Every structure is written in structure tokens, then in C-alpha cells.
A and B are shown apart, each in its own frame.
Chain A
Amino acid sequence: MAFKVTIGQFYNTKSIIHKLDPRIKILVSFAFMVLVFFADSIVLNVYIALALLALIYLSKVPLKVVLKAIRPVFFFLVLAGLMNLFFVQGGNVLANLGPITISEAGLNAFFIYTFRFLFLVVAGTLVALTTNPIQLTDALESMLSPLQKLGLPAHELSMMLSIALRFIPTFSKEAERIIKAQSSRGADFESGNLIERVKLFIPIIVPLFASSMRHADNLANAMDARCYTGGEGRTHYRELAIDKRDITALIICAIYLLVFIALKIYL
């Protein structure tokens, strides 16, 4: 049984995209995701797609890797697309396949929603593929730190995220081991109805939970032993600094945005 996790799958090619400040990447990707919702014509969608293709090219991450990273959501992508195609009605009827009618509006929705969703997923995936998890959490801490004065525990939140990302491989290995052990005792995870299957997962969840408590306890001890006392007075090994490259990237993004607005208004 495959048990692979795709969050935080950093793929280092040392490209210019990898070298950008993670805060810039996060901000730009959020802005881009908002933009995607304003792309309601074919031209704008092509414009969005071009930007993503250009970014994938610049990141030097092989297309195959990107596709593999988005594979888990592919099913939902297709499902959502087909639902739109079949259930959205309006405009001219294009085809009549027995009980199913495909209308112009349906086809339109199919394209718009499928691609919209795809664009969002690819944009997010690109950030994850090109940003090392440590930079991601450092960026989070840095962006949240202004809120620290309002009582938001910025350092603690980023520490939690960092540890969570760090332990994903440990837990997935452990889950795999437990599943194998249960399978060898005759547990069958591949068949049976839903309730039977859910029941089968209890002997996996319980030991996994127990072991996570043990990990947490050990880790807390190890952190204490290495003088961890929270965020106060702590220095940072990695420094986040906006340089010329980041400024250039921001200018390019601004130009891109202006062109998008122009296309939206005049086309």
C-alpha cells in the first residue's frame, strides 16, 4: 500500500526561483492565486498559464516532477471538471448523449473551473518545490513578527510548522511499518466495505498516536538539552534579505499585473 506524502517536497535545482527570498515567493503566489479568480476569458487564462509555464521553466524543475507533485489532486480536478460539464446548463446545446446534455455554458465552466483549480494547485506546488521548508518557516516567522506585539506567538508557530514538516517523513515511515506489520498478521486493507476498512485503520492510528507522544517527549528533552527557551534572545543562522534579484522579480510581477489589468479592461 502506497503511503507517500507530497507536502513540503523540496526539489533543489539551485535556480533563480529557488534563490528568491521566500517571503517574496509566498506573497507573489498569494497575489497570483487571487488573480486567477479574475481570469474569466480565454485570453486571460492563456496569459496565466504562460506565466506558470515560464516559472516552471525558470525553476528548472522537470515538468514530470511538477506533474507528479500535483497528481494527488488530479482526481478532484477531473471530477470537478466533469460535474461542471454535465450539470451547468445554459446557452446552445452542443451535444445530447442520452440523458446527458452538454451546453455551451457547461463547456465554458468546464474549462474555466478545471483550469482555475489547476492553476491554483500548480502555483502552490511551485512554491513548495522551490522553497526549502526551513526558508518557508523562516519566512512565516518573519512575516508574522509584526503581529508579535499583538500577542501572536510568531516564533512558536513557525517552530511548530518546522517540526511538523521535519516529522512527516518519520511518521510516514512509521505508518508504513505498522501497516506492514498488521498486514503480515492478516489484516486486509484492500477489500471490505467502508466501515470494515475504517475499523482496520484503528490498529494503525493507535500505535501511531502512542509513538507520536513518545517522539514529542524525547524531542522536548533534546530541545531543552540544547538550551531552547523560546524565541526570545535567539539569533538566526539563516538571514532573510531582499536583494537586487528580489527587487527585479517584484518589478516583473508588477508589469505582469498591469498587463493583466489592461487585458481584462480592453479585451
Chain B
Amino acid sequence: MSILNCREINFSYEDKERVLDNLSLSLEPGSYTVILGHNGSGKSTLARHINALLLPDSGSVEVFGLSTSSEDNWLEIRRNAGMVFQYPDDQMVTSVVRDDIAFGPENLGIPRDEIIERVEAAIEAVEMQDFADADPSDLSGGQKQRIAIAGILAMRPKLIIFDEAGAMLDPQGRQDLSDRMKSLNEQGYTIIHITHFIEDALEASRVLVLDEGKILYDGSPQEVFEHSDHLKELGLDAPFSINLISALKARGIDLRVTLGQDELIDQLVEVL
């Protein structure tokens, strides 16, 4: 059974042009999906359909078998589909880390004793024990994002959507975030990672490329990177290994598309 089912959704803001164009998508539980797309391709708009922050103009979105069209389902959907946003500062509600993590469970009306338990577990899960009583505004961007993740974990979701959650971080912070997603995925969470950094896609089990509200490519990272020339045209710059392979291809040297450095070196040695 799929965890998410979008059927032919169309959406536009007010009377403007279509942002999502007859888009269909379904996701398996436990999957790790990266959604790539250039600025304005509709990634955030799609993400907001998944947790009922936006509703499609036509078509349907079902999350965990619940339709977003019925308002009664929204809380259950949002509890199960947590979302980490791009701007670390704009998702902190209070001025103490612990209390911020407790915000979601409080909203759900969880009994106090259980909130305390969940908050401690979530702090531990993101390794922020040393900052549990800090003021979030004193933390670094990467630490703020970890608190945001903890705030989602405390709601005990099944799916976590990261909407460019690494965009405001330095490369090290982005790498840490990516590692954290991988480990969350190994723990059984379904992950959707929206990004315009193509290297983030390496870890995913499935990559979707969005363009003008349509899914352009859909497949494993290897399959999608076959189209690296086209991706570059879309403003999605490929990592070094991918660029090298396509440059060699243009000169008549055919290599298998790979993301691993070692495998690339082996292949190069073979050709030379």
C-alpha cells in the first residue's frame, strides 16, 4: 500500500498560471525520495499539498489513506507527515529549546507526562542534550534545523518532508543534515527531501525531477543522472563525477553512470 497518492492534481495560486500541472505521484512506505527542481518549479507547492497546507484545484491527494479534501483528516495527516522548512528561524515558536520541541505534542493534546518523555527522546535523537535549555536564537542554523527535526519527531510521524531544509546551511551543515535523513530513513521513517543541490540525490532510493509543475524524470539516482545534460539546462548542476562521465561521453568514451568515486576510478583505469 502506498503512503502517498497524488492523482492528477492541478493547482495555481489565485488566478496565476498553473504551478502543478496534472501531476500524479505515489510513494512507498519506508522510501527515501529526493525531489529536484529549479527555483519556481513547484517543489514547495507540491510539498504543501502533502500535509494539507494547500489543497489541489482538481485531482486528489491521499496521505496514509486519508484524503486531504476533508478537513477532519488534517490533524491526523499533519501529525503523520511532519515538515521541516527552509528558514530555521521561522519555525521556532518559543524561546526555549525544550518548549519548542513540546509545541507539536501540546497541540495534539498529549498528556503532560508523555510529552516530557517524548521531548527527552527527541532531544536525544538529534543529539542536542547540551542545548536543551538554550534559547533557539543563540543556536547555529544547523542546530536550529536539528531542533526543528526534534519538534517533528516528538509528534511521532511516519513521513518527514524536508523542504530545502539545508538551503541556509553551509556545506558541512548540509552534509550532516543529509546523513541525518539517511539514518532516520534506516530507522523506518519515510523521507521526502526537496532540494536544488543535485548531490543530495545520491543517497536517495528514488529521484524525481520537477519542471513547471510536471514530473520530468522519475527513477533511481543513476537513471536520472543519465540525463545530466538536460538537468544542467534546467539549472541543476551535477556533481563532479557525473560531469566527468558526460564530458567523456561527448568525446566518445562510454562509461557506466556511477556516483561512487572508487567505481569511477576503476572504470577510468580500465579505459586508459
Contacts and interface: CB of A to CB of B under 8 A. Distances in A.
A233 B111 CA distance: 11
A229 B99 CA distance: 17
Nearest to A170: B89
A169 interface: yes
Contact of B99 (A134, A218, A228, A233): A134
Given A226-B78, A233-B109, A221 B53 contact: yes
Contact of B93 (A8, A166, A235): A166
Nearest to A166: B95
Contacts of B193: none
B51 A219 contact: no
Given A226-B104, A229-B75, A237 B155 contact: no
Contact of B106 (A170, A224, A234): A234
A223 B93 contact: yes
Interface residues on A, range: 20 to 34
B94 A219 contact: no
Contacts of B169: none
B90 A222 contact: yes
Nearest to B133: A12
A235 B95 contact: no
A256 B105 CA distance: 43
A222 B93 CA distance: 9
Contact of A218 (B90, B105, B111): B90
Contacts of B39: none
Nearest to B108: A227
A227 B79 contact: yes
A16 interface: no
B197 interface: no
A234 B107 contact: yes
B107 A237 contact: no
Nearest to A132: B96
A237 B102 contact: yes
B91 interface: yes
B85 A221 contact: yes
For the residues of B in contact with A, the DSSP-based class is helix
B151 interface: yes
Nearest to B83: A225
B4 interface: no
Nearest to B87: A218
A228 B110 CA distance: 13
B103 to A, nearest CB: 6
A225 B119 contact: no
A163 interface: yes
B267 interface: no
Contacts of A82: none
B159 interface: no
A165 interface: yes
A238 B135 CA distance: 16
Contacts of A190: none
Contacts of A235: 105-106, 109-112, 115
A215 interface: yes
B112 A237 contact: yes
Given A226-B103, A227-B155, A134 B94 contact: yes
B64 to A, nearest CB: 15
Contacts of A226: 78, 82, 93, 103-104, 107, 151-152, 155
Nearest to B137: A169
B109 A215 contact: no
Q: Which 5 A-B pairs have the closest CB atoms?
A: A218-B90, A237-B102, A222-B91, A169-B137, A226-B104
Interface of B: 48, 51, 53, 75, 78-79, 82-83, 85, 87, 89-96, 98-99, 102-112, 115-116, 119, 135-137, 151-152, 155
Given A226-B93, A226-B107, A237-B119, 13 more contacts: A132-B95, A134-B94, A134-B99, A170-B89, A218-B91, A221-B85, A224-B78, A225-B78, A225-B83, A226-B78, A227-B108, A227-B155, A237-B98
17 contacts: A133-B94, A133-B95, A163-B93, A166-B93, A173-B137, A214-B90, A215-B89, A218-B85, A221-B85, A222-B93, A225-B83, A226-B93, A227-B75, A227-B108, A229-B107, A235-B105, A235-B106
